[in-house]
Structure 1
Amino acid sequence: MPPQPPPPRMPAALPVLPYRKPTKGRDYWVLDDVLPDADAVRERCLAKDDWVRGHPYTSEAWPGLRAMPGLEPAELARVERLVRKATGAGELWVQRAPGGGTLNHNCVQVVGEGESEPRPHTDSRALCRYAAVLYLNPHVPKDCGTSFYRQSLPGGRLGGNVVQAPHNNLVEALGTRFVSPDAFTEDVRVPHRYNRLLLYNANLVHSATGYTGRTLEEKRMTAVFFWMA
């Protein structure tokens, strides 16, 4: 009998994360009507001419368009007062990234249909404790909000959704950047609503639920924030 090729190697099983059911008021907070004049903020963002382009227009991993800053100092101070009140944090600050750089904090992101899909991830524990997204398009469908995810394991079992020490992010916790598209399943969905701030513990696995629109005016527009506390 001629030599047989070795059997295909089964992919290594991913580590199973701890699970903590995302609970409103403990793990995430939904704050509506955050800005007194969200329309003015949106118009200012639409008028920007300094957008940086991401995927699929460049080799960047992040999608769509970005520009900074999103909110003016007084607007940002109002948001931070609400965040401190919701979380009980005495102080918020923006952590410096390695090498002295800054996070994409107070950054406007515009992503449309076909430019990305849900990408479950966590934000870095080394750089932020809380993250938040402010929805800035009144015409976006409710199913383009934000979802929290948990692991979907072989045999229909469910895994966890939290990155804990000694790991700082999901890639470190799983030991790989590449996972199958069905490695996570949606757990809790927060609908999109104009002028809503969704604030959450940054070590929870999360993603935009979906994207919409073909033009700058139609696409999902958000401002994102990252704080230590």
Structure 2
Amino acid sequence: MLPSISIIDDFLVDPWAARQQALALNYDPAMQHGNFPGRNSTEALSTSSIDQTVSRYLGTNVKGAVGTNHGYCRITGKADKGKSGVHIDPAFFSGILFLSKPEDCIAPSAGGTDFFRHKRTGFESIPRDAPSIQNAGYSDVNRLIEDVVNKDTNSPAKWERTMRVPIRFNRLLLFSPWQFHTAAGGFGKTDDDSRLVMLLFFDRA
């Protein structure tokens, strides 16, 4: 059984090189079309070694999920706001590799990743079995996602935070994408001191 959340510290052998590669990517403001806060890179970094390591850790072979931002990086400053909040991911498994500098990660405003419980349903994730979905009053999973996630994504009062995984340089956070989550607030004023992460969305190989 796969873990719902795993934290692996000191993940990369040379995280400073990965950070420099991430910062060297293009973050063209004109190419940003998602609901997320901040700017995504317009191209991905190589993830072959990461995919192999995560496969060994999970005990099942994974690869980058097609149609996702697997291997892309994101810079989020303090002033950046997104169009959506709590969400789920379209993947078999998700990951966030934190690449912000150590001194920026320990600032009081530094945000990691937050996980939530939906107050009305009591769910902390989308149920995967038909009886739970039907007991919640929905005929199928898509109707549940639409009424819970899409409808309440930007309504903080509808959610209770259950956990915050703190940001830490070279920390890899792996988690089930069906869990309700969102990035904690961005920080910094420049690319160098802002929240910098590599996005990872895995599918079965």
**1:23-102 pair list within 5 angstroms:** 26-48=3-25, 50-53=26-29, 60-72=34-46, 76-89=47-60, 91-96=61-66, 102=67
Question: Would you say 1:113 and 2:78 are equivalent positions?
Answer: yes
Question: Would you say 1:151 and 2:122 are equivalent positions?
Answer: no
CA separation of 1:88 and 1:38: change in aligned 2, threshold 3 A: same
Would the aligned equivalents of 2:111 and 2:183 in 1 still touch at CA under 8 Å?
A: yes
Question: Would you say 1:104 and 2:75 are equivalent positions?
Answer: no
Partner of 1:99: none
**Residues 15-43 of structure 1 deviation map (CA, whole Å, 9 limit, x = unaligned):** xxxxxxxxxx7211111111111111111
Deviates more, 1:197-206 or 1:109-118: 109-118
**Alpha-carbon distance in structure 2 between the residues aligned to 1:171 and 1:84:** 28
Taking structure 2 as the reference length, what is the TM-score of the superposition?
0.78
**Alpha-carbon distance in structure 1 between the residues aligned to 2:58 and 2:195:** 27
Q: Which has the higher contact order (CA 8 A, sep 6+)?
A: 2
**Residues 98-117 of structure 1 deviation map (CA, whole Å, 9 limit, x = unaligned):** xxxx2111110001112127
Would the aligned equivalents of 2:51 and 2:64 in 1 still touch at CA under 8 Å?
A: no
AA paired with 2:117?
Answer: R
Consecutive unaligned residues in structure 1, runs of 5 or more = 1-24, 97-101
Partner of 2:180: 205
* Secondary structure, aligned partner of 1:106: coil
Bigger-Rg structure (1/2): 1
Partner of 2:98: 135
CA separation of 1:169 and 1:78: change in aligned 2, threshold 3 A: farther
CA separation of 1:58 and 1:136: change in aligned 2, threshold 3 A: closer
Question: Would you say 1:174 and 2:148 are equivalent positions?
Answer: yes
**Alpha-carbon distance in structure 2 between the residues aligned to 1:107 and 1:169:** 30
**Alpha-carbon distance in structure 2 between the residues aligned to 1:159 and 1:62:** 25
Question: Would you say 1:227 and 2:202 are equivalent positions?
Answer: yes
Partner of 1:8: none
CA separation of 1:41 and 1:191: change in aligned 2, threshold 3 A: same
CA RMSD of aligned residues (A): 2.7
Offset of 1:92 from its aligned partner?
1.1
| % same residue | 25
* Secondary structure, aligned partner of 1:133: strand
Matched positions, count: 186
**Alpha-carbon distance in structure 2 between the residues aligned to 1:112 and 1:39:** 20
Partner of 1:6: none
**Alpha-carbon distance in structure 2 between the residues aligned to 1:64 and 1:164:** 30
**Alpha-carbon distance in structure 2 between the residues aligned to 1:149 and 1:110:** 23
AA paired with 1:111?
Answer: T
* Secondary structure, aligned partner of 1:228: strand
Taking structure 1 as the reference length, what is the TM-score of the superposition?
0.71
Consecutive unaligned residues in structure 2, runs of 5 or more = 129-139
Deviates more, 1:111-120 or 1:162-171: 162-171
CA separation of 1:82 and 1:182: change in aligned 2, threshold 3 A: same
Would the aligned equivalents of 2:119 and 2:159 in 1 still touch at CA under 8 Å?
A: yes
